[in-house]
Structure 1
């Protein structure tokens, strides 16, 4: 009985963190535009135009222009967007975070 009065067997009150925990993967990574992951509207534009538009929406992104018949690594980088271009430097695939 004396032990119950001293509060044994109960958890002490814990403080709540002042900063909320991240709710999704993009919050953990710190991307500044978590909803946008691809740019299908850029297909057919030049690589320079596409790069400018992507950087307007997602600052700090690394743009990688990929010429035809070029191999790329399979690693994932949430700050990289690959621009696949044809011989005339026009985007041929939807640019996306890769």
Structure 2
């Protein structure tokens, strides 16, 4: 474990947020940023191909619902 893996209080930083499942993206983003202010949050549709590189600042949110009726215009 490196010094980057420990918070000022001596605990490991949070790496998952199961409590945001089902919340609106804006609300989920706010909760994640409270725990990880430096997070680069990326919102993607479920099933989107992603790179396998590890970026400690990146948090991906995968969504799979349509929030409103799609329409032409």
TM-score normalized by structure 2?
A: 0.71
1:36 matched to 2:14? The reply is yes
**1:84 aligns with one of 56, 59, 62:** 62
Which deviations, in whole Å up to 9, do the C-alpha atoms of 1:25-82 show, x marking residues without a partner? 2x23687773311011111111111111100111111001111331111111111111
1:48 aligns to what SS in structure 2? Answer: helix
Q: Assess if the C-alpha contact under 8 Å between 1:64 and 1:81 holds in 2.
A: yes
Residue in 2 that maps onto 1:70? 48
Structure of larger gyration radius:
1
Q: Which aligned runs of 4 or more in structure 1 are off by greater than 4 angstroms? A: 29-33
Gapped regions of structure 1 (runs ≥ 5): 1-23, 90-98
CA distance in structure 1 between the partners assigned to 2:53 and 2:39 by the alignment: 16
State the number of aligned residues. Answer: 65
TM-score normalized by structure 1?
A: 0.55
Q: Assess if the C-alpha contact under 8 Å between 1:68 and 1:87 holds in 2.
A: no
2:59 aligns to what SS in structure 1? Answer: strand
